[in-house]
């Protein structure tokens, strides 16, 4: 018998009913240190007072009207996003994958309007994740997520993250419309493209008239200690950018940003959304934006990132049999493991520590940008206890394997 909830997830045996800051609580009061934050969504922690206040205030005024009427919060949030990025215009949607969908449509439409309708190819990178709609799946090209869902869509090509010659060849192709890349891969295992790599990518895109799309759904909104991850790098701005996750601090909202030139084709009727940019979403996202973009929030995120990385480096030196490498940027941290990452995640729960996984056998740490110094210390202490447990677990598994081999 199938579960009434379609069984596409395998949730951990934890059922939080309340959250405050970096902590989650179950019915019986059990407390969990949450270093997942709904996968980089709760950038301000759980139930941040400014967000609770914004949601409550708006919920008594107006929830939803649809985009057939003017929604005042949209203009305010769009103006803030435009003022703090390369972009001139913003489309609001509800999820990351929809923002990516809009990015791809905007790119193709730009070329079509210029009379270059042969330019349709979207170039993606291995290890990428862009969401679960068809275009996003085809852009990422992850076979496991495409399996059984019919033919691959035409117009998508892929290059290895490290293979710069392959990028250049695909971008030089006259059918190329756009490159889509996460400046720091999230699901791929906190893999950051180096600064020179991003600059190089922008240069070859410019040279060949190909658009550059950043998927900053995970790396954006302060996650790396700047508002957007690519803003660490000079001369590497995109033409289009998809954002989501932390944009609403926990309220579902996303956006596709673009330059005026590139978005020129997105005229009335070319795209739309029922819920996109609704009053509730805008009220919460405005409050989240103002809080996340404050210099105090971003500099605190950078300080906590240094504290976390220094602590993890020390743990790696003390436990070389468990930890291989620390990667990522800011508070998008990946710890590559010797032990299976799923085993590590399970063992961490014995210490009431919630972490998540990523490609390349990585354990991903995505604390709130507002995590306190004490909570980072607590996180490091629990992480190290988990490393010790993982060492024991691996020794036990090895002994069991040896015993089984001897018995056979």
- Of these, 54, 104, 217, 281, which contacts ligand PLP (CB under 6 A)? 217
**Closer CB to ligand PLP, residue 45 or residue 359?**
359
97 in contact with ligand PLP (CB under 6 A): yes
19 in contact with ligand PLP (CB under 6 A): no
Would you call 215 a catalytic residue per the annotation?
A: yes
Q: Which sign, positive or negative, has the C-alpha torsion 328, 329, 332, 335? A: positive
Question: CA-to-CA distance for 308 and 225, rounded, in angstroms?
Answer: 13
186 in contact with ligand PLP (CB under 6 A): yes
Token pair of 277 as six digits:
């940019």
Q: How many residues bind ligand PLP (CB under 6 A)?
A: 15
Shortest Å, Cβ 256 to ligand PLP: 12
**Closer CB to ligand PLP, residue 109 or residue 245?**
245
182 in contact with ligand PLP (CB under 6 A): yes
List Cα–Cα distances, 51 to 281, 283, 288, in angstroms: 11, 9, 7
Would you call 129 a catalytic residue per the annotation?
A: yes
Would you call 303 a catalytic residue per the annotation?
A: no
Question: CA-to-CA distance for 242 and 382, rounded, in angstroms?
Answer: 34
**Closer CB to ligand PLP, residue 186 or residue 265?**
186
Binding to ligand PLP (CB under 6 A): which residues in 309-328?
none
* Given 129, 251, 289, 383, the catalytic residue: 129
Residue whose entry in the numeric block shows the structure tokens 């605190």: 300
Alpha helices in 187-294 (DSSP H): 195-208, 279-292
Any bridge partners for residue 363, and if so which?
335, 357
Selected range binding ligand PLP among 29-37, 148-156, 205-213, 215-223, rule: CB under 6 A? 215-223
Residues 6 or more apart whose Cβ sits within 8 Å of residue 47: 19, 20
Shortest Å, Cβ 115 to ligand PLP: 31
* Given 215, 344, 360, 383, the catalytic residue: 215
- Of these, 85, 142, 218, 370, which contacts ligand PLP (CB under 6 A)? 218
Selected range binding ligand PLP among 1-9, 123-131, 333-341, 398-406, rule: CB under 6 A? 123-131
CB 323 within 8 A of CB 337: yes
Selected range binding ligand PLP among 198-206, 214-222, 310-318, 400-408, rule: CB under 6 A? 214-222
SS3 208: helix
Residue 397 has φ and ψ, to the nearest 5°, of -65, -40
CB 47 within 8 A of CB 20: yes
Ranked by CB distance to ligand PLP, the top (closest) residue is 96
CA atoms within 13 A on the CB side of 94: 10
Shortest Å, Cβ 188 to ligand PLP: 9
Selected range binding ligand PLP among 21-29, 55-63, 76-84, 90-98, rule: CB under 6 A? 90-98
Residue whose entry in the numeric block shows the structure tokens 């193709």: 108
Question: CA-to-CA distance for 96 and 85, rounded, in angstroms?
Answer: 18
Binding to ligand PLP (CB under 6 A): which residues in 241-280?
244-245
96 in contact with ligand PLP (CB under 6 A): yes
142 in contact with ligand PLP (CB under 6 A): no
Question: CA-to-CA distance for 72 and 243, rounded, in angstroms?
Answer: 20
156 in contact with ligand PLP (CB under 6 A): no
CB 82 within 8 A of CB 290: no
95 in contact with ligand PLP (CB under 6 A): yes
73-103 core/surface letters (b: 16 or more CB in 10 A; e: else): bbebbbebbeeebbbebbbbbbbbbbbbbbb
* Given 91, 92, 161, 245, the catalytic residue: 245
Residues known to be catalytic: 129, 215, 245
Footprint on this chain of ligand PLP (rule: CB under 6 A): 95-97, 100, 129-131, 182, 186-187, 215, 217-218, 244-245
């Amino acid at each position: 018998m199938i579960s009434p909830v379609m069984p596409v997830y395998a949730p951990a045996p934890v059922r939080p009913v309340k959250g405050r800051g970096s902590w989650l609580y179950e019915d019986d009061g059990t407390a969990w240190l949450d270093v997942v934050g709904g996968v980089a969504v709760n950038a301000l922690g759980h139930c941040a007072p400014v967000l609770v206040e914004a949601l409550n205030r708006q919920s008594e005024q107006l929830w939803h009207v649809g985009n057939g009427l003017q929604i005042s919060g949209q203009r305010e949030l769009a103006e803030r996003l435009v003022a703090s990025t390369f972009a001139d215009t913003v489309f609001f949607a509800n999820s990351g994958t929809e923002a990516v969908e809009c990015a791809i449509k905007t790119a193709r439409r730009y070329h079509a309007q210029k009379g270059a309708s042969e330019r349709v190819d979207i170039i993606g990178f291995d290890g990428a994740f862009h969401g679960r709609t068809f275009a996003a799946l085809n852009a990422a090209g992850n076979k496991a997520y495409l399996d059984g869902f019919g033919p691959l869509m035409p117009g998508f090509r892929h290059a290895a993250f490290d293979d710069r010659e392959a990028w250049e060849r695909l971008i030089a192709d006259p059918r190329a419309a756009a490159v889509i890349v996460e400046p720091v891969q999230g699901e791929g295992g906190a893999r950051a493209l180096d600064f020179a790599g991003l600059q190089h990518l922008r240069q070859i895109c410019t040279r060949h008239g190909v658009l550059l799309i950043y998927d900053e759904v995970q790396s954006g909104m302060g996650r790396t200690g700047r508002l957007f991850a690519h803003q660490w790098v000079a001369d590497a701005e995109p033409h289009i950018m998809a954002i989501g996750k932390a944009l609403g601090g926990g309220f579902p909202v996303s956006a596709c940003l673009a330059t005026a030139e590139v978005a020129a084709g997105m005229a009335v009727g070319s795209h739309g959304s029922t819920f996109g940019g609704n009053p509730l979403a805008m009220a919460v996202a405005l409050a989240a934006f103002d809080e996340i973009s404050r210099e105090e929030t971003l500099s605190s995120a950078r300080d906590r990132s240094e504290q976390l990385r220094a602590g993890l480096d020390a743990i790696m030196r003390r436990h070389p049999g468990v930890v291989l490498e620390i990667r990522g940027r800011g508070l998008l941290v990946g710890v590559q493991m010797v032990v299976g990452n799923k085993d590590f995640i399970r063992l961490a729960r014995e210490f009431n520590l919630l972490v998540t996984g990523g490609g390349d056998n990585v354990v991903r740490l995505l604390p709130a940008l507002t995590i306190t110094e004490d909570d980072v210390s607590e996180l490091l202490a629990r992480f190290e206890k988990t490393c010790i447990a993982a060492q024991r677990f691996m020794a036990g598994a090895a002994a069991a394997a040896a015993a089984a081999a001897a018995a056979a």
